[in-house]
Amino acid sequence: MTEIRIHEVGPRDGLQMEKQIVPVETKEAWVRAAMAAGVDIVQVGSFVHPEKVPQMADTDELFRRLVAGKESQTVLSGLVLNEKGLERGLACGVEMFCMGASASETHSRKNTGMGTDEATRRIVAMGKEALAAGKRVQVSVQSAFGCGFEGRIPIERVQRIVETYLEAGLANISLADTAGHADPALVSGLFGVVRALAENVECTCHFHNTYGLGMANTFAALQAGVTTVETSWAGLGGCPFTKMAAGNVATEDFVHALHRQGDRPDVDLLRLIALARDVAAHFGREMPGYVYRCGPIPNGPASVAGPFVDQSRREDVR
């Protein structure tokens, strides 16, 4: 599993459910902390109408701050749902565009106001435009493993959307468990179907922990050949347009698990724990993550966090 990439979605998926607006200065500090910890991609925000998701109203400004004089190798991604969002993202410096359609007709209409087929057509056109502008593009199938409104989603429906993406030259594919209905066997089977469709497909997974299976599903996805995992600081998050919103797999929990088996020692776990604790302190409540509360397992692989560990912060996790 040496090729695993970590996509931190806390600034977007983590915050979109929160009613307490986080100041842009605080968001910037949190994103920079994630970048300093060595995660590969950070999803800075989404380009949505501020009345629908007020927490994302400052996404354009946040991107402008982060790309100005940027030296970090961390890729800054942004979620777009429509052409206006793409236009805004191109104007403020998004490096990687994330966009997708839901395999659930009900969720699609609640989330975007469009049915699945219309959303897919528009996403394909937007993806091509972003690629032509020299940007990275990741396309997703939301509610791929089930829907709180519709229940189990037929595999054929997910496969049809993925095939449409691939035919358009969009090969970076994410399957999102928006409702948290996935289980390891379903994860292995569905990613197996996707990877069999094209040799050049790159797979990403995104799991919500609604029923406590997020980490198990993540490792099932890795075993099935997934190379990028989307996680959120402290496990914060949830889709406001699904029936039962729940948090994500916590970034620091996932990195801790990787360190236990000797993977990604370059990612600074202690910085991620400090970040998760800062998020929890800001909101004044306990977060869904585990490792930020108890610290890493001592005297094992996780305690050797690699050459980029800030040794001065070790007292924060004892």
The pLDDT of residue 153 is 85
Annotated active-site residue in 92, 98, 203, 239? 239
Longest dimension (CA), the chain: 53
**% pLDDT > 70, the chain:** 89
Helices and strands per DSSP (H, E), number in the chain: 11, 8
Comparison of pLDDT for 53 and 129, the residue scoring more: 129
For CA atoms 28, 38, 9, 124, the dihedral sign is: positive
**The pLDDT of residue 246:** 58
Nearest to 42 by CA among 4, 71, 5: 5
Q: For residue range 96-106, what is the model confidence (pLDDT) as tens digits?
A: 999 999 988 77
DSSP SS3 for 4: coil
Residue 150 pLDDT: 72
Q: Which residues contact 62 (CB under 8 A, 6 or more apart)?
A: 11, 24, 27, 28, 31, 44, 45
What is the residue type of 14? Answer: G
Q: How much is the pLDDT for 109? A: 82
Place of tokens 């100041």: 23
Instruction: Quote the pLDDT of residue 318.
Output: 34
Residue 253 pLDDT level (bands cut at 50, 70, 90):
very high
Query: CA angle, corner 31, sides to 26 and 33, nearest 5?
Result: 95
What pLDDT is recorded for position 149?
72
User: What angle (nearest 5°) sits at the alpha carbon of residue 212, between those of residues 99 and 175?
Assistant: 20
> What is the pLDDT averaged over residues 64-83?
96
Summarize the confidence of residues 77-86 as an average pLDDT: 95
Q: Could you give the domains of the chain?
A: 5-317 (3.20.20.70)
Report pLDDT digits (tens) over 265-315.
Answer: 999 999 999 999 999 999 999 999 999 999 999 865 544 443 333 333 334
Give the model's pLDDT for residue 304. 42
The reply to whether 92 belongs to the active site is no
pLDDT of residue 55: 94
How does DSSP classify residue 11? I
Band (pLDDT 50/70/90 cuts) for residue 238 is low
Q: Which pLDDT value is given to residue 299? A: 64
Q: How many residues in the chain?
A: 318
User: Are residues 132 and 90 in contact, defined by beta-carbon separation less than 8 angstroms?
Assistant: no
Scanning the structure block, which residue is given the tokens 């360190």?
Answer: 259
CA distance 225 to 263: 15
Answer yes or no: is pLDDT of 241 > 80.
no
* Nearest residue to 288 via CA among 207, 219, 196: 207
Query: Whole-model pTM?
Result: 0.90
**DSSP assignment of 145-204, as one string?**
T-BTTTBSPPHHHHHHHHHHHHHTT--EEEEEETTS---HHHHHHHHHHHHTT-TT-EEE
Q: Average the pLDDT over each of 18-27, 107-116, 148-157, 230-239 and give the range with the smallest value.
A: 107-116
pLDDT at residue 314, rounded to an integer:
38
Lowest mean pLDDT among 14-18, 57-61, 83-87: 14-18
**Cβ burial, residue 155 (10 Å; 0-12/13-18/19+):** middle
Structure tokens at 157: 């429906």
Mind listing the pLDDT tens digit for each residue in 116-138?
Answer: 888 899 999 999 999 999 999 99
DSSP state letters, 13-59: IITTT-SSPPPHHHHHHHHHHHHHHT-SEEEEEEE--TTT-GGGTTH
Band of pLDDT at residue 113, cut at 50, 70 and 90: confident
